[in-house]
A and B are shown apart, each in its own frame.
Chain A
Amino acid sequence: MERESVCVLGGGSTKYGKLDDSISDITLQASVGAIESAGIEPKEIEAGYISNVFGVADKQVHLGPVVMSNLGISECPSLSIESACGSGSVSFREAFANVAAGFYDAVLVTGTEKVTHTGTDWTTTYFSYCSDFFYEGQAGASFPGLFASMARAYLHEFDATEEDLASVAVKNHENGVLNPKAHLRKKISIDDVMDSAVVASPLKLYDCCPFSDGASSVILCNEKFAKEHSKDYVKVIGSGRGGSPAALQGREQLTTIPSTRIAAEAAYKMAGITAKDVDFAEVHDCFTVAEVVDSEDLGFFEKGTGATAARNGDTKLNGSISINPSGGLKSKGHPIGATGVGQVVEAFEQLTGKSGERTVNDAKIGLTQNFGATGASCAVHIFQSV
């Protein structure tokens, strides 16, 4: 089938962190940011894709019609997509598929989340509903607990230490300091991570991304539409999705995430490139161990060597592969419905010269990887500058 060439024309984000505005307000703010960045009129948008998980916690679900009405385009069709922490990338993929198929010339993709007002106890509990609850959440496993179980398996199987995992957090905070929209903008040391309170052993507080509020938005369109509106657009050259057993107990190995490998293989194939061609990657580092596993599953490092690569600084800004130049979920923050779209905003800004001090030098190709829960679902996208 002949596909339309799909482009990201503009991107906008609220700051990530503890926000006072309501979920419908931050959803609107990010959407307006994307529309103005793209230089289009709202009436040119033909459909809206909203990703969100816990709108119910801020008394607003069915967010699409609310944001469309506030944009003055109440007749524009919209929908909401929930796929746990991977909602944003899945929503982006559905929008991509529809533009690629020629159904729409231009669509709005906005991810949004507002949870911090519920407090750590309830947020931890709500998030546990994203697990295979019968076997995991119900038995007292939180998300830090599930990833801690993967971390223990990784440290047992490979030549890696808790300090190696800590180096991922230190690196992502270094990058986040350079990102004005990041939630946690402070430098930290390996000792800070090692001395922080144990949340779920072997993971400590600073191995974990924060609970964040925030919204991110992009305009996705075909290339003809993009060319008519701006010079600042990037092409989506690869898109892939994958699945894994929902519960960790269903996986033969606990040091790899099958959905990432499946999604990456499909995205690389569509793009006609390999991992070696990627200049930077925004990956799903909800916990330090996750970034290490992601960096291997995406093909940047051999299995079992991702922790060593992190320790050696290979993944730093302008290292051999810049991983999470935005600061990642760890420092930039993790508003779960927004995260996958926020990664795309970062790729757009990196490839159009809008990323300031955190710019990856001479970057032509960027990759985003965002998964739901412990990687039960995943989407990978690849972007190229024009």
Chain B
Amino acid sequence: MQFTYSKVCKLSAKPEFIDAAKSGNILARKCAKCGEILLATVYYCKSCGSKEFGDTILKGAGKVVTYTIMTVPPAGFEDLAPYAWVVMELDDSAIRVSGFLAKISTPEDLPIGTPVKVTGFDERGIVLEKL
């Protein structure tokens, strides 16, 4: 993990977050004051209120915390069901992210704790795959 302590972070880092996810990573920030690690989409530290962060790239690998299997999907996902929407916790930190995981039809396909990784970002948001 490498931290580049910068002045004040960018107000909206979504483009950079998306680029990182496309490479299988999660863009996070470490608070320069208290050390809290947060997703790069926040601007103030939730622990100490500071906005001085160092950017860091976390590996997008982790384990399933919980999920659902969507059989009645929202618009745009009709042809993809059934699929899973997953909350995962990264191996490198306590950070959790959520995303889309294709072709899951029964709970046997995805027990809680299953290793998964970030593989991309597109119109389905963060895209995950089983490791």
Contact = CB atoms under 8 A, between A and B. Distances in A.
Contacts of B99: 135, 139
Contacts of B98: 135-136, 139, 141, 247-249
B96 interface: yes
Interface residues of B, number: 31
Contact of A134 (B41, B67, B70): B41
A125 interface: yes
B66 to A, nearest CB: 4
A156 B113 CA distance: 11
Contacts of B9: none
- Interface majority SS (helix, strand, loop, mixed), chain A: helix
B68 A200 contact: yes
B87 A139 contact: no
A199 B125 contact: no
A196 to B, nearest CB: 12
A152 B71 contact: no
A141 B80 CA distance: 12
Contacts of B75: 121-122, 124-125
B112 interface: yes
B87 to A, nearest CB: 5
A200 B69 contact: yes
Interface string B90-131: 000000111110000001000010000000000111100000
B74 A139 contact: no
Interface in A134-156: 134-142, 144-146, 148-150, 152-153, 156
Contacts of B80: 140
Contact of B67 (A144, A152, A203): A152
Given A135-B99, A152-B112, 18 more contacts: A135-B97, A135-B126, A136-B85, A138-B125, A139-B125, A140-B74, A140-B80, A144-B68, A148-B68, A149-B68, A149-B85, A152-B68, A198-B69, A199-B72, A200-B69, A247-B98, A248-B87, A254-B66
Interface of A: 120-122, 124-125, 128, 134-142, 144-146, 148-150, 152-153, 156, 197-203, 247-250, 254
Interface of B: 14, 41, 65-78, 80, 83, 85, 87, 96-100, 107, 112, 123-126
29 contacts: A120-B72, A122-B75, A124-B73, A124-B74, A125-B75, A134-B14, A134-B125, A136-B85, A138-B123, A138-B124, A139-B99, A139-B124, A139-B125, A140-B70, A140-B83, A140-B124, A142-B70, A142-B72, A142-B73, A144-B72, A148-B68, A150-B66, A152-B112, A156-B66, A199-B72, A200-B69, A203-B68, A247-B98, A254-B87
